[in-house]
Amino acid sequence: MSEIEERLAKLRAQIRYHSHRYHVLDSPEVSDAEFDALVRELRELEAEYPLLVTPDSPTQRVGAEPLDTFSKVTHVVPMTSLGNAFDEGEMYAWLARVKRLLPEDVSLEYVVEPKIDGLAVAVTYENGTFVRGATRGNGLVGEDVSLNLRTVKNVPLRIPLGGGPPPARIEVRGEIYMPLDRFRDFNRRQLESGGRAFANPRNAAAGSLRQLDPRITAERPLSLFVYGIGYVDGQRIETQWETLDYLRELGFSVNSDIRLLSDFEEVVAYCQEWMLKRDTLNYEADGVVVKINSFETQERLGIVGNAPRWAIAYKFPAREATTRLLDVKVNVGRTGALVPSAVLEPVQVGGVTIGRATLHNFEDLARRDIRVGDTVVIKRAGDVIPQVVKPIESLRTGEERVVPLPEVCPVCSEPVVKPEGEVAIYCVNAACPAQLVQRAIHLVGSMDIDGMGPKIVERFVEGGLVHDPADIYYLKADQLLPLEGFAEKSVSNLLKTIESSKQAPLWRVVMALGIRYVGAVVARLLVEHYPSMDALGSATEDDLQDLEGIGPRIAQSVVDYFSRVSHQKLIEKLRQAGVRMVEERVEKAEETLPLRGLTFVITGTLPTLSREAAKELIEEHGGKVTGSVSSRTDYLLIGESPGGSKTRKAQALDISQISEDELRAMIAAG
């Protein structure tokens, strides 16, 4: 192994280790900055030595091309479903059936696992490398969602974690879900930016995993809990409990709420306890899965239809209730989107009192014909803020009132607009205080300013300390000290955090601007190609659309953003405050890129690279590709059956012609 290969292997192992500590064990050992530095070094080395990039490298999670459709995967071992029990009686009836099929003297142990309400997947590894991931589908045939699953942070691309010998083949099974805090956050941002919210975390997980564009999946906060093995080579595992241990050892996330119990009364108690505890979990559980621990016993019991006799799902009751809709209030989000919110007669749903519910948007409200005064069905689906499902029309008295579309913003009273083709209604007053709070919260989150929660931001705005998001960078100690709850120490800490956030990478600054459709992944992509705010600000829609992963919608939104004077002022103010406007790393690297300053024209079919791939390779190493030969062309990259006019012109202008191999040699030579 060369020195470079050793360094690459070492970096990958370190990144894997720290990523596991962070995403699986939830106990990071290094700071984000230290972690980022490792990833940066790996990326830089891989950019320099593209041939040494491996598919299981931590850098290979994102960036794949969108698909037209998913291909089908036939499961080697079918993915069964589960029988259900809805109360204690049905649980004991299941146990009785189990016992009837077994000799009297077997003693039983049970593994009890929260039943995660997400989407079942099977993930295959060959010689320790992630090779495929598929949805359950109908249990026999699922869809190949490999590119999407690769983007899920706690799905290892390489096992085992410690780097020991992997099984030749293993298929692990588990549930893809969206943690509830992330789900709420995601829905809030969707609504604020005029998008659609997901009805529940299950839909969010399924919708995100079944995206044809892996970049969209990469933006979604998905997670995997594994609970089983479809098949594995050369491992003797005899129980479900050992299976979970083994999976944990390999580096997968296993739910820590899983228990091994030997007393069935305890099993039933666990089910009931978790039914009550479900609201305190950070995942949506729709029940508890009880599994017989011993595989030998499992085999004896076998499968009926498509459900094993050795397992049962204790299902929690649906969380629905009916109540009266007293009023519809309107909230304003960061982008100015007006979001209707239901004021309800307080009602108990699954042990929690509910008085508010979301209504998504006004179009949805009209479509479902929900009126003030209606008796409505409400549902809690993992969301703190429950939803209004539907009105019960048969209970109408005639006194109900249709909710009018708002014509002015409820906060600043300026007229609102409804852009064509969008569901949301917007307040477009840039000075609207409601938007300001949200925009400032967004900036604080994007710039990673710890210790400045939404409530604090709100107080700063209300207290007149923050008139636009950039004011956060102009806060002074003597403004903060008089505020209640701000002592010397906390003020100095907060100001320090704000100060150091100025050095955050440029993509964070780009994200912080709050440009529509520009989340972390898109911001990173933009900065990769436009390593300074000025460069990004002067990109045209055409330039932007040339980038992989940037469509017309994003391109238009970015150009539109930079064209507004108020936004230019905001950027200027951030710049004045000392916030990073140039990506140093990329700029530095550019000076040493092997093809820097060189312009290429491509003609003919290259032996291994597609046009697009050749263009990328050249650009990645600092060169430029144009469409036609001119005096500014440095090289004609030429393949099979080249175009006559390009070659003639290149000859006339005395431009060097090179092959793909020669191009690679140029890159390798640095």
According to the binding rule CB under 6 A, does residue 81 interact with ligand IVH?
yes
According to the binding rule CB under 6 A, does residue 521 interact with ligand IVH?
no
Nearer to ligand IVH, 46 or 175 (CB): 175
Choose the binding region for ligand IVH from 112-120, 148-156, 526-534, 592-600 (rule: CB under 6 A): 112-120
For residue 21, the number of C-alpha atoms closer than 13 Å in the C-beta half-sphere is 12
From 115, 315, 379, 646, active-site residue: 115
Rounded to the nearest whole angstrom, what is the least distance from the CB of residue 190 to ligand IVH in the complex? 25
Nearer to ligand IVH, 222 or 472 (CB): 222
Rounded to the nearest whole angstrom, what is the least distance from the CB of residue 251 to ligand IVH in the complex? 19
Choose the binding region for ligand IVH from 113-121, 384-392, 407-415, 609-617 (rule: CB under 6 A): 113-121
According to the binding rule CB under 6 A, does residue 202 interact with ligand IVH?
no
Chain-centre distance for alpha carbon 344: 32
Rounded to the nearest whole angstrom, what is the least distance from the CB of residue 134 to ligand IVH in the complex? 13
Rounded to the nearest whole angstrom, what is the least distance from the CB of residue 26 to ligand IVH in the complex? 19
DSSP string, 535-573: HHHT--HHHHHTSTT--HHHHHHHHHHHH-HHHHHHHHH
Interface residue with ligand IVH among 46, 175, 374, 383 (CB under 6 A) is 175
Q: Which tokens sit at 295?
A: 């595989």
The CA-atom distances, in angstroms, between 545 and each of 507, 518, 537, 549, 564 are 18, 14, 14, 8, 20
Nearer to ligand IVH, 311 or 602 (CB): 311
According to the binding rule CB under 6 A, does residue 382 interact with ligand IVH?
no
Name the 3-class secondary structure at 391: strand
Nearer to ligand IVH, 206 or 495 (CB): 206
Q: Would residue 379 show up in a list of annotated catalytic residues for this protein?
A: no
CB 224 within 8 A of CB 253: yes
According to the binding rule CB under 6 A, does residue 308 interact with ligand IVH?
yes
CB 124 within 8 A of CB 171: yes
Residue 453 makes CB contacts below 8 A (sequence gap 6+) with none
Q: Which tokens sit at 10?
A: 């070492």
Phi first, then psi, for residue 3 (nearest 5°) are: -60, -40
Choose the binding region for ligand IVH from 45-53, 156-164, 306-314, 323-331 (rule: CB under 6 A): 306-314
Cα separation, 556 vs 553, whole angstroms: 5
Phi first, then psi, for residue 304 (nearest 5°) are: -115, 130
Q: Which tokens sit at 419?
A: 């852009």
Cα separation, 591 vs 111, whole angstroms: 59
Cα separation, 301 vs 106, whole angstroms: 12
Rounded to the nearest whole angstrom, what is the least distance from the CB of residue 255 to ligand IVH in the complex? 7
Nearer to ligand IVH, 136 or 371 (CB): 136
Choose the binding region for ligand IVH from 305-313, 490-498, 570-578, 629-637 (rule: CB under 6 A): 305-313
According to the binding rule CB under 6 A, does residue 289 interact with ligand IVH?
yes
Residue showing tokens 């701000």: 486
The answer, yes or no, to whether the previous bond of 50 is cis (omega within 30 of 0) is: no
Pick out residues in 205-264 that bind ligand IVH (CB under 6 A).
227-228
According to the binding rule CB under 6 A, does residue 133 interact with ligand IVH?
no
Interface residue with ligand IVH among 311, 381, 526, 617 (CB under 6 A) is 311
According to the binding rule CB under 6 A, does residue 309 interact with ligand IVH?
no
CB 638 within 8 A of CB 603: yes
Pick out residues in 558-597 that bind ligand IVH (CB under 6 A).
none
Q: Which tokens sit at 256?
A: 């820590």
Using CB under 6 A, list all residues that contact ligand IVH: 80-82, 113, 115-116, 120, 136, 175, 227-228, 289, 308, 311, 313
Q: Annotated active-site positions, please?
A: 115
